[in-house]
Each structure stands twice: as structure tokens, then as C-alpha cells.
Structure 1
């Protein structure tokens, strides 16, 4: 955590208001003891972990135990990390393109549902009937619900 001067001043003023100037020195001593105790526990845990892991892991830091950091530090070179970042950016761009395409398809489908067919497009016998020299008219897209148990 990074505190600036204004945040520290605000916390001190708040502590004086809440606890009063009489109890504040005692609370500060207790807080310092608790902080010191927690630091000792953390240092003991680190020491015990290094001791248990052995000499080959003597220079390991706690950040190395994070799998993401470990892979980036020990298994990938700088070029490979840059390649992975580029692949990630391309995947994000492709995903946004797919989303835009789906949205435009949904918009077109909803426009198709609300539009009334013209007599030329429908024909005398109904939708999908060809007139001489024309292409067949595609029927409106029908949304079929997905049933995961049916597969």
C-alpha cells in the first residue's frame, strides 16, 4: 500500500476523533506490536519454506510461487512473452469482430421479422415460390432453441 501525506493526515485526524487523544498513544503501541508480530510470522514462514525446499530453491521468492509469474520468468523468453501478448491482442480483436457480426446478424433478423413481404417477393402461392427468371426467396430465419440434454 502506498499512502500519501494527505491520507496519513486524514487517518490521524479520524483516529483522534474516534478514539480521543488520551487512548491514541496506547492504541498506536498495540498496533505496532501487532504489525511486528505479523512480520515475524511472515518471515518465519518464508524461512521455513526455504528450509523445506532445500538448497536448490534458496533464491526463490514468494512471487515465484505464483504460477503466472513462474511460467513467465522460468519457461518463457522475452520474445515468447511478446508473441503471447500479440496472440492475445489478436484473439481479443477477433472476438470483438465476431460479437459485431452476431449483433448485425441479430439486427438484420429482427428487421426481417418486422418487415412486411412485398407481393413480388411472396408470389401467388406464398414464400419461396420462384417466378420465371428470378431467384428463390429464402424463408425467414427461424430460431431453434438449443437443448443441451438432446445431444
Structure 2
């Protein structure tokens, strides 16, 4: 947790005995014990307050997943890219819904006027997108159109 092994702890204790002296060491040890108890009490109080404010969902959080030491940009990018692929290849369930205010064919409410038939498509264009209008070129010396709201 702190990163101090046994030998380092013994060395720190010997340095404390030499610096503080045997007569003041018990007093400082008791102060250190009180400080540790107070810090633990404050941490548990903060944990309880967080649990009260957030609710029982806080117990379900996987804190190891949120650990910054687990951060691996390659894994995160790979997961994000795979999530997009899985979302993109999901099969569509059901039929596409009709536009708002319209009903699906064959589900017309009684008493409602029948919709007018759609204009007939030109022969040979069934299922094709509408034709695209060709670009119009400006003549020589003709100024370009200016949109005051676009600038």
C-alpha cells in the first residue's frame, strides 16, 4: 500500500529513535496512533456519506476498472472500434416505422379519406434515386453568389 518493505520500516524506526530520543518517542508514537485512527475515521465517514448520497449502486461499481494504472490506450481504442462494429452489424428487428401522422398500409382508420395515389414513376426508373441536377457554371465576369448569413 505505502511501498515500504520491512527493512525500510526498521531503518525509519531506528532513525526516529536517534532523532527523537527514547524519552520523547512514546509521546510521538501515541500522537501518530491518534492521527492514524482519525484518518481512518474520516475515510470511513466519507465512504458512508458517499454511500448515502449515491445509494446502493456505489457497491456495484468495479473500482479496479477505473484504476488509472489499468489505462491502456490500445485496448480502449480496440474496444471502442469493436463496439461500433457490433452496433453496425446488429440485425434490424421489425419493420421500419412510418412517418409521424401516417399509418402503415392496410391500417387505415375507418371513416378516414383514402390517400391520393403517388404519381407514377417514369418507365424504367423504378427503384432508382431521383436524378441529380447538373452543376451550373458561372459565366466570365459574373460574381459568385454571396450569402450574408453564412459569413
TM-score (norm 2): 0.41
TM-score (norm 1): 0.41
More helix by share: 1
Larger radius of gyration: 2
Greater relative contact order (Cα < 8 A, sep 6+)? 1
